[in-house]
């Protein structure tokens, strides 16, 4: 049976929806219809989402949201990086704008809430104002950032980095995607070019602040029994690529006391990494998720192992201290096993602690909707992290069922999604 015929996200969302949440112009039905419509673009056989950055599917999703933006009366534009903006001028069109949104690209076979919820909730605020006749004081823009996930070029946050001027043009042009195609060729297929991409930087003084709704991708809100939470900081990732080099040898003929086993040293290091974050802070994390073993034979002692350590914290000083401890641990283990060690940092992104003033404004908006404020950190990177390097930001997390994300089983109830739209509306109106 055809996947499309057996899939109906709208029905699943509406099944347990509390219609009393339809108030002040916010419509759960409309939000459910739009989430469902986007879910059908790039729908996989497992009922997941396949809309990687710079794909025709991502472009199609943007086009659909642009249609909804036009119907809502927004002035719609797209920059040279493919970022989409729907602008409502407000009573004072010359004031700096408040931006809200997220992304519509996905990881391969991902979920249907990571990204689209932030875009559609931001648009739902405009629809609510249209229904009630409210006009904000400052301009308000709904934004769709390009290629947040980074699945195509193993990078990510591409649109927000381009808009804020954080893109290294030469480095970006050297990228090759998962299919072996160069960056320039890939973006040309979706109507962009290297020249227009470089010209997409925006004047940050024109932006008053940025607020993003995103699913939590964790279990803390579910455990607390609340629909939404306040993000206190976004962890900046550092990636250390480490290579352990010993001697490849025969598994049968090389005595145990005469080996330089790179995999043995790397394995001890992986175990050691797990215990280090707690020595730094309660918000620090470190992960080894990928190892390349050479020659990778059943009866061969590993001669070389290359791995990457993903290190994160919301405090830059603490994060950098953890980096030092991890390098020290690798060095000590390699010396004990007579293994050579080489390492390099392949990514270094500044964490973004969210200003207390923005947290307080968000807390007031949440309490105004009868919800107890819950504070939590974001271990995942978001476009708000990039924006937070330049303008005040706030983030609203929405409860995720079982903490599942980047998976077709990703789920947030329509009740919680609609409540996040109400909180966003309250926040923007009082910001």
Q: How far apart are the first and last CA of the chain?
A: 49
Q: Give the per-residue pLDDT at 1.
A: 47
And the tokens for 93? Answer: 């069109």
- 90 in the Ramachandran plot: left (φ > 0), alpha (ψ -120 to 50) or beta? left
CATH number of the 4-234+351-430 domain = 3.40.630.10
Q: Give the per-residue pLDDT at 198.
A: 82
Look at residue 195 and give its three-state secondary structure: helix
- Please report where in the chains the tokens 């390699």 appear, as a residue: 334
Nearest C-alpha neighbor of 365 from the set 283, 291, 429: 429
And the tokens for 75? Answer: 């002035």
CATH number of the 236-348 domain = 3.30.70.360
Q: In angstroms, rounded to a whole number, what is the distance separating the alpha carbons of residues 134 and 17?
A: 26
Residue-averaged pLDDT of the chain: 96
pLDDT-derived band at 3 (thresholds 50, 70, 90) equals low
Q: Give the per-residue pLDDT at 147.
A: 97
Nearest C-alpha neighbor of 384 from the set 90, 203, 143: 143
Look at residue 203 and give its three-state secondary structure: coil
Annotated binding site for Zn(2+): 103, 114, 149, 214, 406
Alpha carbons within 13 A on the beta-carbon side of 32: 20
Concatenated DSSP letters of 371-429: ----EEEE-S--HHHHHTTTS-EEEEEE--GGG--SSTT----HHHHHHHHHHHHHHHH
**Residue 272 burial (10 A CB sphere; 0-12, 13-18, 19+):** middle
- For the stretch 59-111, pLDDT in tens is 999 999 999 999 999 999 999 999 999 999 999 999 999 999 999 999 999 99
And the tokens for 44? Answer: 């996989």
Contact 142, 121 (CB under 8 A): no
pLDDT-derived band at 227 (thresholds 50, 70, 90) equals very high
pLDDT-derived band at 55 (thresholds 50, 70, 90) equals very high
In the predicted model, is pLDDT for residue 417 greater than 50? yes
Domain boundaries of the chain, sorted by first residue: 4-234+351-430, 236-348
Q: In angstroms, rounded to a whole number, what is the distance separating the alpha carbons of residues 238 and 7?
A: 39
Q: Give the per-residue pLDDT at 330.
A: 98
Contact 324, 359 (CB under 8 A): no
Q: Is the pTM of this model over 0.75?
A: yes
């Amino acid at each position: 049976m055809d996947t499309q015929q057996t899939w109906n996200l709208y029905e699943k969302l509406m099944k347990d929806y509390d219609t009393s949440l339809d108030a002040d112009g916010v419509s759960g039905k409309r939000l459910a219809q739009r989430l469902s419509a986007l879910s059908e673009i790039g729908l996989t056989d497992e009922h997941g989402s396949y809309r990687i950055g710079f794909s025709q599917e991502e472009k199609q999703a943007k086009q659909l949201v642009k249609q909804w933006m036009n119907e809502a009366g927004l002035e719609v534009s797209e920059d040279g990086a493919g970022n989409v903006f729907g602008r409502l001028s407000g009573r004072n069109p010359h004031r700096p704008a408040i931006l809200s949104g997220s992304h519509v690209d996905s990881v391969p076979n991902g979920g249907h809430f990571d990204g689209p919820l932030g875009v559609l909730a931001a648009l739902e605020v405009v629809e609510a104002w249209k229904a009630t006749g409210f006009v904000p004081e400052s301009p308000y823009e709904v934004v769709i950032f390009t290629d947040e996930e980074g699945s195509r070029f193993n990078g990510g946050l591409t649109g927000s980095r381009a808009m804020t001027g954080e893109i290294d043009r030469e480095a970006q042009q050297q990228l090759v995607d998962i299919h072996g195609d160069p960056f320039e060729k890939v973006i040309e297929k979706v109507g962009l070019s290297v020249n227009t991409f470089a010209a997409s930087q925006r004047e940050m003084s024109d932006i008053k602040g940025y607020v993003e709704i995103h699913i939590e991708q964790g279990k803390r809100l579910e455990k607390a029994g609340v629909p939404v939470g306040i993000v206190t900081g976004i962890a900046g990732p550092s990636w250390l690529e480490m290579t352990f080099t010993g001697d490849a040898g025969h598994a049968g003929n090389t005595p145990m006391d005469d080996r330089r086993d790179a995999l043995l040293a790397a394995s001890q290091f992986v175990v050691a990494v797990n215990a280090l974050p707690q020595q730094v802070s309660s918000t620090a994390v470190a992960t080894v998720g990928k190892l390349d073993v050479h020659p990778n034979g059943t009866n061969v002692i590993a001669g070389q192992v290359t791995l990457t350590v993903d290190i994160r914290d919301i405090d830059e000083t603490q994060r950098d201290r953890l980096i030092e401890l991890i390098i020290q641990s690798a060095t000590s283990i390699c010396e004990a096993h007579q293994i050579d060690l080489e390492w390099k940092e392949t990514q270094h992104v500044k964490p973004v602690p969210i200003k207390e003033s923005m947290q307080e404004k968000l807390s007031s908006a949440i309490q105004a909707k009868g919800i107890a404020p819950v504070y939590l950190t974001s271990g995942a990177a978001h476009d708000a992290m990039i924006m937070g390097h330049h303008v005040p930001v706030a983030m609203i997390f929405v409860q995720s069922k079982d903490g599942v994300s980047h998976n077709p089983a990703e789920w947030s109830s329509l009740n919680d999604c609609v409540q996040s739209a109400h909180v966003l509306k309250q926040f923007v109106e009082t910001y």
